[in-house]
Chains A and B, each alone.
Chain A
Amino acid sequence: MEYFLELFLGGLTRGSIYALIALGYTMVYGIIELINFAHGEIYMIGAFTALIFASVFTLLGFNDLSILLLASLAAVTWASAYGYTIEKLAYKPLRKAPRLSALISAIGMSIFLQNYVLLAQTSDFLPFPRLIPHFSFMDPIVHVIGSAELVILITTAVVMIALTLLIKFTKLGKAMRATAQDRDMALLSGVNINKVISFTFIIGSFTAAVGGVLIASHIGMINFYIGFIAGIKAFTAAVLGGIGSVPGAVLGGMVLGWTESFATGYVSSDYEDVFAFSLLVLILIFRPEGILGRSTTQKV
């Protein structure tokens, strides 16, 4: 039973990270129906920015807590700036083009950003400072769940709730929902579409950067390639939960995290990804719109 609990919590932690990245995919998709392949790279750039600023502040002799706060602040600032710029450069000119063109543009952007960081920084793995402090009150249960895991779970929950409130109750949230439902109609009702889309990218990049900082300080190392695999998994999570749906992305992330964790724990880690993708195929066969996705009736 303890083993089950350990795997459950491990899956939950991993799932939280997937969920944080999946939010960006799902919101962007909800608004402009684009698979933003470069989103995983935003997560990577967020983690790199945090590493760079953390190192600089360490050398300047700041204390641990202020390093954590300043580095995280820098990470979300720059990640959001990258998200905003990418949309303006690579996707905005393509809004009226065939959907596949925007997808290729996204793939190109993803390859570009990976190599940009590779060339401007390094291809080696870099040690990431352990920004999350160790809580001594966690000691008795450290073999089940560590401090870093706890911080990840709490942060994810907070981000999730804040985002739901934002979408449900603010004017901007209303505009986002309107744009997602019918872009032309929203435009006619006086919604500034460009602003809404930019904002969606900024929020998505923000959550991805939060995920990037958390996981990097948890596992303690990063390189330019971490965004790719995390991005594909998070995208899977978003589709699993029903792309376009915020609670769906969270649920999808968790389901994917648990699947991988239990597959490793009870079967074999050789096939953890096979289990993850097979689950995806199975769910989509029986619920083609994902677990929480709305089924859309196609109009002619």
Chain B
Amino acid sequence: MVVPDSSAPIASFQQVWKRFGDIVAARDLNLDVRSGEFLSFLGPSGCGKTTMLRMIAGFEQPSEGDVYLHGNRVNGVPAHKRRVNMVFQHYALFPHLNIARNVAYGLKQAKPKLAQNVIDERVDEALNLVQLDGYQQRRIWELSGGQQQRVALARALVNKPEVLLLDEPLAALDRKLRREMQIELQNLQRNLGITFVLVTHDQEEALSMSDRVCIMREGEIVQVGSPRELYDNPLNRYVADFVGKSNFFDGVVESTDQGRQAVKLDNGQSLDVDLSATGKPLASGHPVTLSVRPEQIVLARDRARLPDDAAIVIETEVRNRIFLGEHTEYLLHDDAFGEFLALAPRQAEANEMPFEVDERIYVSWSRTAALLLDNTT
């Protein structure tokens, strides 16, 4: 046995490739899963996120490269010999067993054998953890989807896995229940200190629960980072588009001057963008995409009310207005910029009355608000 080192990654991919026939599901992946973190794989279906999860579980073996669990190379080690457990997409609960026996299933496989009273105790504990006390003797089909989800969670957690894998666990639940389970999963993860690895195509889910998010595309890892890092410093348009809403305008770099870059957009407009602390200056002529988050756009009826440091001021027409409670979302239109979104917080609206559809208003954003995304990555 290797003595666990808390600073070492609990799971690790090193130059991992996975092929299914001609299809490449994983392309030279390198990733460390840190002990005790909540990590999400985010991407559209077919991006390889589930394959990664299944390689940690042991259902798939890498075609090339190595997978490590707790510092041990586990290529070829079957799933039943790995101390990781999975919550399956449609739960995969055993229909012929009651709730208690479903939860006890993993404990019953333990060697040396656990005493029945120990098993019972731990099953009760696990069911208590997911708030299903007293459901021991119930049958699977007597439970709602949300309750089945909790049983699946208890069945995995009762084994005290080193890593808990969750394969789109909330996809089958309705919106309200999903929100509740997200909070519960987060609490469980913090209280138990178990590493959670989640697969999802739902960006809101990934961003709200995870410590780190790994964004994938076509078998490759595009960017790994905390939700805030990904939101504030997306590597490219793909990430910016996947993480939250944004407006994109294509253009090229005109010149660079002391951390400020002049950009000429394809629509003929020119504007300045300040480089963020982490941003690298791009050479003149470099193709870029300007990303402006809707909430970064300032709206005003009166041009004079706009901030002085605006990178650009656009006179636009309000095309549509959606009331979202805390915010109001405006769909704006300008001949040069096309349609784009702006989000006005409620407090800001208190000063100026809500804008009406068809009204002409002024909008702007600051030089620090817009992000320059390298179009070659």
- Do A and B assemble together? no
